[in-house]
Amino acid sequence: MFKTAKNPGDVKVYLDNQPAFFHNLQQLCVMKVDDIPVVKANNNVSAAMPHITLTDLKLNVFGPIED
């Protein structure tokens, strides 16, 4: 996409106009771009402190949407 772009308007930025999730990280887990979920959450109970659940978030994307 970037190789053929003649001007900045030719580049599609998938996350433009997406809301900020720093105030509500739970919403980040269900974020979608073009109806595609882009975040995958893995939950694990802490072995050292079982009353704490750890949530690992990662991008669930590939190809141009990852860029």
pLDDT tens digits for range 15-65: 666 667 667 777 777 878 788 788 888 889 999 999 999 988 888 777 665
From 21, 22, 2, 27, select the one nearest 12 (Cα to Cα): 2
Confidence (pLDDT) at 5: 80
Residue 5 amino acid letter:
A
User: 66 or 36: which carries more pLDDT confidence?
Assistant: 36
Confidence (pLDDT) at 45: 95
28's enclosing H/E stretch is helix 25-28
